[in-house]
Amino acid sequence: MIEKRTAIKLSDGRELIYFDESPAEDRMRWQDTRQLPPPPPTSQLRYDPLVDEWVAVAAHRQTRTFLPPSDKCPLCPSTPDFASEIPAPDYDVVVFENQFPSFSDRVKPDEITELTDMVPVRPGVGRCEVVCFTSDHTSSFGALSPERIRTVVDALADRTEEMSALPGVAQVFPFENRGIEIGVTLSHPHGQIYAYPVVPPRTAAMLEAARQHADRTGGRNLYADVLAAEQKAEIRVIGSNAHWTAYVPAAARWPFEVQLAPNRQVPDIPALTAQERDAFAELYLDVLERFDALFGKPMPYIAAWHQAVTGPGRDLGYLHLQLFSIRRAADKLKFLAGSESAMGAFINDIVPERAAQILRDAL
Catalytic sites, residue numbers: 190
d(CA 99, CA 64): 8
Instruction: Quote the strand ranges of 207-269, DSSP E.
Output: 237-240, 244-247, 256-262
DSSP, collapsed to helix, strand or coil, labels residue 55 as strand
DSSP, collapsed to helix, strand or coil, labels residue 245 as strand
CA distances from 180 to 67, 193, 241 (A): 9, 19, 32
- Name the phi and psi angles at 71, rounded to 5: -80, 0
DSSP per residue, 105-163: SSSPPPPPEEEETTEEEEE-BSEEEEEE--S-TT--GGGS-HHHHHHHHHHHHHHHHHH
User: Among positive and negative, which fits the CA dihedral 72, 73, 79, 84?
Assistant: positive
In single-letter form, the type of residue at position 265 comes to: Q
d(CA 105, CA 122): 13
- Where residue 211 falls (left for φ over 0; alpha for ψ -120 to 50; beta otherwise) is alpha
